[in-house]
Structure 1
Amino acid sequence: MTRKLSALLCAAALVAAASACSSASSAAGGGDATGPVTLTYGIWDPNQKPAMQQIVSAFEKLHPNITVNIELTPNADYWQKLQTEAASGTAPDVFWMSTTRIGLYAGQGQLLPLTGRSGFDNSPFPASLNSIYTVGGKQYGMPKDYDTIGLWYNKKLFDAAGVAYPTAAWTWQDVIDASKKLTDPAKGTWGIASPDWTQENLYNDIYQAGGWVVSPDKKSSGFTDAKTLAGIQYALDFITKYKTSPTAQQMTDTDPSQLFASGKVAMFTDGDWDALTYKNAPGLQADVAPLPAGPQGRATVINGLANVIYARTPHAAAAWEFVRFLGGQQANAIQAASGAVIPAYHGLGDAWVKAMPQFHLQTFVDQLDHAVPYPVSANTGPWATADQTILDQIWAGKLSLSAGAQQLKSTTDADLAKG
């Protein structure tokens, strides 16, 4: 999954430009040249590359005339690079797509629809993911994985402070109380890291407080709703009121996930995708519990990636064979065994949980019962980028929450009105 959206989203004009110069034949998908075919597969997570390579190797054994080269681009550069390549007609044949960008890329004609292709089957995947990756009645993304958010905690720091580990019965107040006991300025340790990240932190708090981000009709935002503000205030208070979280500047200087992995932070709300990072962190003894209940109960945002086909690929048939394999049970079983992410394929969550028995990873699967879809619109990028800039100012103490909320609503509503 993504981190701070503002660092990853670029101007949509590049995508539009690419769409404008796409020929009719390339928009239809083109054809495959006779003989061996080489595909490029764009991904961004180094933790997942080994599993993706295993999947590629399994695919190549079944398709000896097709070679797949994995193109790994760091997360922070992935979208800008992809949009530049889309404009020049050189994007990977197959690449990872997010829920926040599917509307833009599909709407601009940059992706080939999967609906109607021979062997297309979306029945093994959650209906919510299929729906998100469907634009104009056609599905463009083959769901790859899904993620929820949990409360990661450092057992060493809890033990040293004599604080009981988090449980499914914890509420916001339990987190607040524990963060105070776990903060030790003399040792340079913090009770919790509370960045202004939306997926990992704020959206969950907003929904736990009973607030909302985007209306069901995608025409308005809820940033000035009292319950929405309560959720954001809860996260902000760890910095401004309780002083139990690193400051915004400190979390800019060092990523909060790194602070947690290095033993400087006792609690951190984070996704399942960082399990491998915490498994491999030297000396870290961590585990994960469900997110605490807020005033309106439990909630965690659910999100997920998909594999898509570039509309201007010269190898549409081979690309489809690869995407169809990526959506099959064999590929998803390999992904599950790696422990990198939860496969979207029904029934394979147990295999992912068993991949790292030192963590209670079943937490992420069980939280499906409290999952709320990640808020998106037809073109999420502009308002999400603007929102993050405003949130950064609030977290830095340059803008009050009340004034910032008005700006969040104003800018978000304006972008939503554009469709």
Structure 2
Amino acid sequence: MKSTWKAALAMATAATLLTACAGETGSGPNEKVTLTYANWSEDQTPAMEQIAAEFQKANPNITVKVQTLPWTEYWSTLQVGAAGGTAPDAFWMLADHFREYAKGGQLLDLSDTGLDMSVYPKAVTDAYTYEGKTFALPKDFDTNGIWYNKALFDAAKVPYPDDTWTWQDAQDAAEKLTDKAKGVWGIAAPIDPQGGYYNTILQAGGQIIKAGGTASDFASPASVAGLKFWTDLQAAGSSPTLKQLSDTEAVSMFENQKVAMYFSGAYWAFRFHNSPALKGKVDVAPLPQGVKRATVTSGIGNAGYAGTKHPEELKKFLAFLGGTKAAEIQAATGTVLPAYQGTQQPWLDSMPEFKLQVFIDAIEYGVPLPIAGNTAEWQGLAAEHLAPAWDGKKPVQEAAQEYQAAVDKVLAKQ
């Protein structure tokens, strides 16, 4: 009980810190207002501060304080703050967490901002719409590709991945690239939905969540095949074990040049670009094909707290975040692939060493990130139910059936 109380106190304190600088409510058009804007990425903080500064130039009566929390604390802090009235004014939102906040009435309705929502990818705008209302404006979007280390490929004399690769090509390459004596694996195979098994389930013809959103599809033959792509890599020893990936994140292993391939999103480009150790060694290719091409697509949304003391100023700031200037800053700095239509080219130009067009081309076969019921809850059960299959302790079909039953139980509560 004591540790639980301490954890709750720590989260509440962090939530309070996020809004400690918020301005007091005043009256009149020249009122000095301070808004807080929370995110979870130190890599993106400089660009967010630049965007805030541009907004303040046009709105000198409004100060925006950018606050960055570690990913491991972000959602628990936001949850406590939203429930207790201490949430930041503006904050990043993800599609898999969105509905719990929208249903709880904790998000500011942005339907009247006057923005043309057709300038964003439909998959992202749909993810932040609830009961016909818009509660977050798309900040960026992402698809997935194969990040690969050219130096490790060259050392193993393995051809680089390209758009002809199949699952078998990826698995064969991973085996050849693995050199246990040097502590190098061909690929990272964590239990990763967005960068990993969602994509292979879709490529195998599975659905993840069935039409209507009341049941999942993890135990279907196609979905099991999509899961088996990853468990086969683990069984072959081509990936670090789950324990090793728990001790060191997959992306860190890739950065440390311990894995040659990492299937993931466009959002890592900026980090890899800024890594001196990876200079000239990294590139990206399309995901391999299964029965068909597919990748999940989603993006961060900029949301506002319904309990803000400054709703009009906040809407003005969120509209700016959803506009061309903010998108151009994100693109030109290479920070992330902006969602606003027509602003992606500067992002491509900012990191010419990568074949970043791969991520934009993937929109053609992109599938919206599956959202149904309390997505964060059922998605959070994946490791518990799928780990035995990843570790080779349980058949994939059995683990998939158990996970499907757990997911369907959560979906039944909506």
Paired residue for 1:24? Answer: none
Matches of 2:25 and 2:164, distance apart in 1: 56
Matches of 1:162 and 1:33, distance apart in 2: 69
Paired residue for 1:39? Answer: 35
Contact 2:283 2:355 (C-alpha < 8 Å) held by counterparts: yes
Cα shift readout 1:386-415 (whole Å, capped 9, x = no counterpart): 223212343234443222111111111111
Q: Which one of the candidate residues 225, 234, 238 is aligned to 2:233? A: 238
Report the residue type matching 2:141 in the other structure: Y
SS class of match (1:177): helix
SS class of match (2:180): coil
Paired residue for 1:67? Answer: 63
Q: Which one of the candidate residues 103, 108, 133 is aligned to 1:107? A: 103
Aligned 1:291-330 pairs, distance under 5 A = 291-294=287-290, 296-330=291-325
Report the residue type matching 1:345 in the other structure: Y
Report the residue type matching 2:44 in the other structure: Q
TM-superposed deviation, 1:120: 3.5
Paired residue for 1:248? Answer: 242
SS class of match (1:69): strand
Q: Which one of the candidate residues 55, 58, 73 is aligned to 2:54? A: 58
SS class of match (1:408): helix
Q: Which one of the candidate residues 250, 258, 261 is aligned to 1:267? A: 261
Contact 1:32 1:318 (C-alpha < 8 Å) held by counterparts: no
SS class of match (1:212): coil
TM-superposed deviation, 1:31: 7.2
SS class of match (2:314): helix
Report the residue type matching 1:255 in the other structure: E
Paired residue for 1:5? Answer: none
Cα shift readout 1:361-385 (whole Å, capped 9, x = no counterpart): 1110111111011111132122111
TM-superposed deviation, 1:33: 4.4
Contact 1:249 1:396 (C-alpha < 8 Å) held by counterparts: no
Matches of 1:75 and 1:398, distance apart in 2: 30
Contact 2:25 2:33 (C-alpha < 8 Å) held by counterparts: no
Paired residue for 1:88? Answer: 84
TM-superposed deviation, 1:124: 1.5
Report the residue type matching 1:95 in the other structure: F
Could you tell me which runs of 5 or more consecutive residues in structure 2 were left unpaired when the two chains were aligned: 1-6, 12-23
In percent, how many aligned pairs have the same letter? 44
Aligned 1:222-237 pairs, distance under 5 A = 222-237=217-232
SS class of match (1:123): helix
Structure 1 pair 32/43, CA: closer, same or farther in 2 (3 Å)? Answer: farther
Matches of 1:244 and 1:116, distance apart in 2: 51
Report the residue type matching 1:414 in the other structure: K
Matches of 2:277 and 2:403, distance apart in 1: 41
SS class of match (1:113): coil
Structure 1 pair 388/395, CA: closer, same or farther in 2 (3 Å)? Answer: same
Cα shift readout 1:106-132 (whole Å, capped 9, x = no counterpart): 111001111124x33323112222222
Report the residue type matching 1:283 in the other structure: A
Q: Does 1:149 align with 2:171?
A: no
Paired residue for 2:16? Answer: none
Paired residue for 1:413? Answer: 408
Matches of 1:137 and 1:180, distance apart in 2: 48
Matches of 1:399 and 1:84, distance apart in 2: 37
Contact 2:216 2:408 (C-alpha < 8 Å) held by counterparts: yes
Contact 1:110 1:311 (C-alpha < 8 Å) held by counterparts: yes
Q: Does 1:185 align with 2:180?
A: yes
Aligned 1:77-226 pairs, distance under 5 A = 77-117=73-113, 119-226=114-221
Q: Does 1:395 align with 2:390?
A: yes
Could you tell me which runs of 5 or more consecutive residues in structure 1 were left unpaired when the two chains were aligned: 1-9, 15-29
SS class of match (2:196): helix
Contact 1:262 1:281 (C-alpha < 8 Å) held by counterparts: no
Report the residue type matching 1:217 in the other structure: G
Report the residue type matching 1:174 in the other structure: D
Matches of 2:389 and 2:222, distance apart in 1: 18
Contact 1:184 1:190 (C-alpha < 8 Å) held by counterparts: yes
SS class of match (2:262): strand
SS class of match (1:101): helix
Contact 1:31 1:316 (C-alpha < 8 Å) held by counterparts: no
Matches of 2:318 and 2:66, distance apart in 1: 14
Structure 1 pair 33/395, CA: closer, same or farther in 2 (3 Å)? Answer: farther
Matches of 1:39 and 1:312, distance apart in 2: 12
Cα shift readout 1:40-82 (whole Å, capped 9, x = no counterpart): 0011111111111110000000000000001101111100010
TM-superposed deviation, 1:278: 1.4
SS class of match (1:308): strand
Matches of 1:396 and 1:88, distance apart in 2: 41
SS class of match (2:303): strand
TM-superposed deviation, 1:32: 5.9
| RMSD of aligned alpha carbons | 2.0
Report the residue type matching 1:364 in the other structure: F
TM-score by length of structure 2 reads 0.91
Matches of 2:391 and 2:82, distance apart in 1: 35
Contact 1:145 1:344 (C-alpha < 8 Å) held by counterparts: yes
Q: Does 1:346 align with 2:325?
A: no
Q: Which one of the candidate residues 343, 358, 361 is aligned to 1:363? A: 358
Matches of 2:359 and 2:133, distance apart in 1: 29
SS class of match (2:124): helix
SS class of match (1:111): coil
**Count of residues in Structure 1 that have an aligned counterpart in Structure 2:** 392
TM-superposed deviation, 1:101: 1.5
Structure 1 pair 226/396, CA: closer, same or farther in 2 (3 Å)? Answer: same
Contact 1:206 1:212 (C-alpha < 8 Å) held by counterparts: yes
SS class of match (2:302): strand
Q: Which one of the candidate residues 247, 253, 257 is aligned to 2:251? A: 257
Matches of 2:202 and 2:25, distance apart in 1: 46
Matches of 1:374 and 1:346, distance apart in 2: 20
